[in-house]
Amino acid sequence: MKEYLKKVVNQEDLTLEEMKQAAEVMFQEETSDIAIGGFLSALSSKGETSDEIAGLVHVIREKSTLQLPQDIADALDNCGTGGDGSQSFNISTTSAFVIAGAGITVAKHGNRSVSSKTGSADVLEHLGVSLNFSPEQTQEILKENGIAFLFAPHVHPAMKRVMQVRKNLGIPTIFNLIGPLTNPIELSTQLLGTYRRDSLDIMANALNKLGRKRALVLNGAGYMDEASLAGENHLVLLDRGELLPFTLTPEEVGLSTIDNEQIKGGDAKENAAILRRVLEGETGPYRDTVIMNAGLAIFANGKAGTVQEGVDFARESIDSGAALTKLDQLITYSQKISQEV
């Protein structure tokens, strides 16, 4: 670790292979918390590169307990980094069912609340979705229902090694960026929201190094890690190795401007109720925000040729009842496996 720490302190970037080696050392029990903390702090001070992010993610994914066969066709994730401080309702979690209702397989990766009031796991658990799918059950529900939830602490037990160090440091580190990248399933496409607008190209390049064929990285108006209806959103499309930056306003896809204050959420009970109401067809700011985010994911996946077409697919997914059906079937499956235990 000393070798890599010295390079980073000297403002030298690590190669992808060097970061892999550093990460392997970092997760070893004999590595001191002081060494890990010093390394993470130095990385943060220098500024993380796409190679360093991809190298760390490679190691975390290799250590995952969820290793599925490579036959989950065109699976997508739409997880964000968190950390935007917006206190919004669970936009990406709600959007995931809309995306699945549009016919795209969704491997939804997430956790309990860290920087927000309510994490995806908290909301789904309140709705009756199990957080304890085995690898075999995850594979089955992905094939049968087209959407499953991957609870990060269960699929990444190695992360426990650095949790206390991160907590003691009390500053954002590389781990605040990589959550959405660590999905253990070999995703072909992805929608990734980041709270850091300066990281759009870095994250898109990291996704490319991790093998995504197509992905969309965004930072919303108000620096949200979701697409926002409050104004101009900044995005980078990764399409087979090429990075294409663009901006998008709600008006460009037929949606009204809405202040971010109007999409605030609450605790798990309140956010679960919002999620279900949106999927049941309630109109308003919550629905329109979900339609925009789901539409972007459908475009990122390639099912839609334009963002507008993606928005139209998302609207139809809700209005047809397909999105709600995906949620209800996941709840039913969860009840089934709980009865079998």
Residue 109 annotated as binding? yes
Residue 225 annotated as binding? yes
Which contiguous run of DSSP H or E holds residue 238? strand 233-239
3-state percent helix, strand, coil for the chain, nearest multiple of 5: 55, 10, 35
Residue 226 annotated as binding? yes
Residue type, 1: M
The CA distance from 101 to 109, in Å, is 17
Residue 113 annotated as binding? yes
Q: Encoding tokens for residue 251?
A: 């008006």
Residue with tokens 């690898």: 135
Residue 320 annotated as binding? no
Residue 288 annotated as binding? no
Residue 84 annotated as binding? yes
Residue 334 annotated as binding? no
C-alpha distances out from residue 75 to 151, 230, 341, Å: 16, 30, 28
Residue 160 annotated as binding? no
Residue 91 annotated as binding? yes
Output the CA torsion 227→50→110→303 (10° steps): 50
Residue 92 annotated as binding? yes
Residue 332 annotated as binding? no
Residue 80 annotated as binding? yes
Residue 256 annotated as binding? no
| 107 SS3 class | strand
Residue 64 annotated as binding? no
Residue 239 annotated as binding? no
Which contiguous run of DSSP H or E holds residue 316? helix 307-319
Residue 114 annotated as binding? yes
User: DSSP letters along 137-202, please?
Assistant: HHHHHHHHHSEEEEEHHHH-GGGHHHHHHHHHH-S--THHHHGGGG-SS--SEEEEE-S-GGGHHH
DSSP class of residue 131 equals S
Q: Which residues does the annotation place in the binding site for anthranilate?
A: 80, 111, 166
Q: Which residues does the annotation place in the binding site for 5-phospho-alpha-D-ribose 1-diphosphate?
A: 80, 83-84, 88, 90-93, 108-116, 120
Q: Which residues does the annotation place in the binding site for Mg(2+)?
A: 92, 225-226
Q: Which residues does the annotation place in the binding site?
A: 80, 83-84, 88, 90-93, 108-116, 120, 166, 225-226
